[in-house]
Amino acid sequence: MTGKRVVVAMSGGVDSSMAAAILKEQGYQVIGVTMQIWPQDKQAAGGCCGLGAVEDARMVAHKLSIPHYVMNFRKIFTQTVIVDFYKEYSQGRTPNPCIRCNQYIKFDVLLHRAKEMDADFIATGHYGRIKHSPDGYRLLKGVDPAKDQSYFLYTLGQKELCHLLLPLGNLHKAEVRKLAAELELPTATSPDSQDICFIPDGDYRSFIAAYIPLKSGDIVDTHGNIIGRHRGLAAYTVGQRQGLGLASDRRLYVIKLDAGSNRLIVGTEDQLLSRKLIACQLNWVSGKAPGVFTGITAKIRYGSPEVAVKLSPGNGTTEVSFLEPQRAIAPGQAAVFYQGETVLGGGIIEASKTKQEGKHAKHQVATIPC
- Mean pLDDT for the stretch of residues 158-172: 98
Q: Are residues 20 and 164 in the same domain?
A: yes
Residue 101 a catalytic site member: yes
Question: What single-letter DSSP state applies at residue 192?
Answer: P
Domain with residue 230: its CATH number is 2.30.30.280
Q: Is 360 part of any domain?
A: no
Q: How many domains does the structure of the chain reveal?
A: 3
User: H helices within the chain, ranges in order?
Assistant: 14-25, 51-64, 74-77, 83-90, 97-101, 111-116, 158-161, 173-182, 204-209
For the cut 80, the answer to whether the pLDDT of residue 6 exceeds it is yes
Q: What is the CATH number of the domain that holds 328?
A: 2.40.30.10
Residues 30 and 137 in one domain: yes
Nearest partner of 283 among 240, 334, 244, judged by Cα: 334
Q: Does residue 103 share a domain with residue 172? A: yes
Pair (161, 23) in one structural domain: yes
Alpha-carbon Rg of the chain, whole angstroms?
22
Q: What pLDDT, on a 0 to 100 scale, did the predictor assign at position 207?
A: 87
**Is 288 part of any domain?**
yes
DSSP at 331: B
Boundaries of domain holding 279? 273-354
Number of helices and strands (H, E) in the chain? 9, 17
> Is 361 a member of any domain?
no
pLDDT, tens digit, 9 for 90 and up, residues 7-20? 999 999 999 999 99
* Annotation marks residue 370 as catalytic: no
In whole angstroms, what is the distance from residue 238 CA to residue 331 CA? 8
- Same-domain status, 125 and 173: yes
pLDDT in the model for residue 360: 37
Residue 336 CA to residue 306 CA, distance in Å, equals: 9
| Helix H or strand E encompassing 322 | strand 318-327
Q: Which residues of 200-214 are buried (b: 16+ CB within 10 A; e: fewer)?
A: beeebbebbbeeeeb
Is 41 inside a domain boundary?
A: yes
Catalytic residue among 48, 49, 98, 101: 101
pLDDT at 192: 84
Residue 142 lies in a domain: yes
pTM (predicted TM-score): 0.92
Consecutive H or E run containing 307: strand 307-313
Kindly give, in sequence order, each residue whose CB lies less than 8 Å from that of residue 138, ignoring residues fewer than 6 positions away: 130, 131, 132, 285, 286, 342, 343
Q: What is the pLDDT of residues 175-197, one digit of tens each?
A: 999 999 999 999 999 888 766 88
